[in-house]
Amino acid sequence: MSAPPMLVFDGDCTFCNRAVQFVLAHERRSDLRFVPRASALGRSLREQDKLQRVESLLWIEGGEAFIEFDAVAHTAAYVGGFYARLASVARLLPRSLLSAGYRIFAKVRKRLAGRSRHCLLLTAAQQQRFLG
């Protein structure tokens, strides 16, 4: 059996924490593992894949790391339904446009949403899915 997918996210970013909460609230399955990028595992995964400077979500699955819009699209596909369809439609746009849009958003996300001052409130089962 293959390892479950992992989503590496910025635990200090309010927007990223809300995105994780959104996934937890809307997911149809519950095998995704969450890894704060500043954790030992998060740093190790970024180093292993030579992604230290990437200011992006990382979706890791099947030994492959996906960044920028590709990470968002994999996350949307994981959530399923409308969000998966929306990501599929967005993939019709040029990759350069999607990547540029993601990079612009990534640079301003903390200014838009601020830094997280609150911890995620998780169930015991959800807590086990956070790796560090």
Range ranked top by mean pLDDT from 26-30, 31-35, 109-113? 31-35
The DSSP 8-state label assigned to residue 91 in this structure reads T
Summarize pLDDT for 7-21 with one digit per residue, the tens: 999 888 888 888 999
Contact indicator for 131, 39 with CB cutoff of 8 Å:
yes
Q: Which two structure tokens, joined as six digits, stand for 82?
A: 């409308």
User: When comparing pLDDT for 99 and 54, which is higher?
Assistant: 99
For the chain, what is the mean pLDDT? 88
Question: CA–CA separation, 100 vs 69, rounded Å?
Answer: 9
pTM, 2 dp: 0.87
Contact indicator for 34, 40 with CB cutoff of 8 Å:
no
The pLDDT score that the predictor gives to residue 45 is 87
Nearest 5°: phi and psi at 3? -65, 145
CB neighbours of residue 40 within 10 Å: 11
